[in-house]
Structure 1
Amino acid sequence: MTAVPTVRSRPAITLAVVLLAFASVPMSISGAAVALPGIGDDLHAAGAPLQWVMNAYNLTFASFMLVAGSAADRVGRRRIFVTGAAVFAVGSIAAALSTGIELLGLARALSGIGAAGVFASGGAILATTFDGAQRTRAFAALGSAAGLGLAVGPTLSGWLVGGMGWRATFGMHAVLVLVALAGVGFVAESRAPRRPRPNAVGAVVFVAGLGALVLGAVQGPEWGWASAGVLLLLAAGLALLVAFSVLQSRSADPLLDLTLVRNRRFLALCMVPVVTTFGFVTLLTYLPTYLVGAGGFSAQRAGTVLLLMTGPVLLAPPLAGGLVNRGVPARLLITVSLALFAVGNLWLTVIGPSTPVATFAGPLLLVGLGAGLSFGVGDGLAMSLVEPGRAGMATGFLNTMRVGSEAIVIAVFGAVLVSLIGTRVDSPELAAEVAAGDLSGGVSHVLADGYTHALHLALYGTAAVCAVGAVLIGLALAPARGRATPPAAPQPYESAASGTPAPRPASGASNAANATSGKAR
Structure 2
Amino acid sequence: MAAELPVKEPEFVTTVPPGRPRPAITLVVVLLAFLTVPMSISGAAVALPGISEDLHTAGAPLQWVMNAYNLTFASFTLVSGSAADLVGRRRAFVVGGGVFAVGSLAASAAPNIVLLDIARALSGIGAAGVFASGGAILATTFDGAARTRAFAALGSAAGLGLAVGPTLSGWLVGGVGWRATFGLHAAILAVALAGAGYVAESRAEHRPRLDVSGAVIFVAGLGTLVLGSVQGPEWGWGSPGALALLVAGVGLLVVFVVLQARSATPLLDLTLVKNRRFLALCMVPVVSTFGFVTLLTYLPTYFVGASGFSPQRAGTVLLLMTAPVLLAPPLAGGLVNRGVSARVVITISLVMFAGGNAWLTVIASSSSVAVIAGPLLLTGLGAGLSFGVGDGAAMSLVDSHQAGMATGFLNTMRIGSEAIVIAVYGAVLVSLISTRVGSQGLAARVAAGDLTGGDSGTLADGFTHALHVALGATAAVCTLGAVVIAAALAPPRRRVSATSSPPKDPQLPTTVA
Shift in Å, 1:515: 8.0
- The residue identity in structure 1 corresponding to 2:364 is G
The match for 1:144 is 156
Write the mapping of 1:21-420 to structure 2, written as runs, cut at 5 A. 21-420=33-432
**Conserved? CA contact 2:15–2:202, under 8 Å:** no
**Conserved? CA contact 2:396–2:508, under 8 Å:** no
Indicate yes or no: 2:459 matched with 1:436. no
Shift in Å, 1:440: 0.6
Distance in 1 between the 2:507 and 2:464 partners? Answer: 50
Distance in 2 between the 1:288 and 1:324 partners? Answer: 34
Distance in 1 between the 2:488 and 2:43 partners? Answer: 36
The match for 1:466 is 478
Distance in 1 between the 2:271 and 2:494 partners? Answer: 23
Distance in 1 between the 2:224 and 2:15 partners? Answer: 42
Shift in Å, 1:482: 1.3
Shift in Å, 1:375: 0.2
Distance in 2 between the 1:246 and 1:482 partners? Answer: 33
Distance in 2 between the 1:519 and 1:262 partners? Answer: 18
Distance in 2 between the 1:10 and 1:208 partners? Answer: 37
- The residue identity in structure 1 corresponding to 2:203 is R
The match for 2:439 is 427
Cα 1:190–1:292 shift into 2, 3 Å: same
Distance in 2 between the 1:403 and 1:378 partners? Answer: 15
The match for 2:501 is none
Shift in Å, 1:483: 6.4
Distance in 2 between the 1:415 and 1:360 partners? Answer: 24
Indicate yes or no: 2:22 matched with 1:13. no
**Conserved? CA contact 2:397–2:510, under 8 Å:** no
Shift in Å, 1:395: 0.1
Cα 1:520–1:392 shift into 2, 3 Å: closer
Distance in 2 between the 1:427 and 1:203 partners? Answer: 43
Query: What 5-or-longer segments of structure 2 have no aligned partner?
Result: 1-6, 497-505
**Conserved? CA contact 1:328–1:519, under 8 Å:** no
**Conserved? CA contact 1:316–1:372, under 8 Å:** yes
Distance in 2 between the 1:177 and 1:426 partners? Answer: 47
**Conserved? CA contact 2:342–2:508, under 8 Å:** no
Shift in Å, 1:196: 3.1
**Conserved? CA contact 2:45–2:166, under 8 Å:** yes
Structure 1 runs of 4+ with >2 Å offset:
1-9, 514-521
Q: Deviations over 1:63-92 (max 9, x none)?
A: 000000000000000000000000000000
- The residue identity in structure 1 corresponding to 2:249 is G
**Is the partner of 2:438 in helix, strand or coil?**
coil
**TM-score normalized by the length of structure 2:** 0.94
Distance in 2 between the 1:316 and 1:171 partners? Answer: 30
- The residue identity in structure 1 corresponding to 2:290 is F
Distance in 2 between the 1:243 and 1:176 partners? Answer: 39
The match for 2:3 is none
Q: CA RMSD in A?
A: 1.6
Distance in 1 between the 2:392 and 2:336 partners? Answer: 11
Shift in Å, 1:10: 1.2
Distance in 2 between the 1:198 and 1:448 partners? Answer: 53
Cα 1:428–1:266 shift into 2, 3 Å: same
The match for 1:502 is none
Q: Deviations over 1:77-128 (max 9, x none)?
A: 0000000000000000000000000000000000000000000000000000
Query: What 5-or-longer segments of structure 1 have no aligned partner?
Result: 485-513
**Is the partner of 1:243 in helix, strand or coil?**
helix
Q: Deviations over 1:296-353 (max 9, x none)?
A: 0000000000000000000000000000000000000000000000000000001101
Distance in 2 between the 1:272 and 1:191 partners? Answer: 27
Distance in 1 between the 2:50 and 2:452 partners? Answer: 21
Q: Deviations over 1:161-197 (max 9, x none)?
A: 0010000000000000000001011000000121331
**TM-score normalized by the length of structure 1:** 0.93
Distance in 2 between the 1:196 and 1:74 partners? Answer: 7
Cα 1:469–1:121 shift into 2, 3 Å: same
Distance in 1 between the 2:208 and 2:77 partners? Answer: 18
**Is the partner of 2:384 in helix, strand or coil?**
helix
Q: Deviations over 1:268-317 (max 9, x none)?
A: 00000000000000000000000000000000000000000000000000
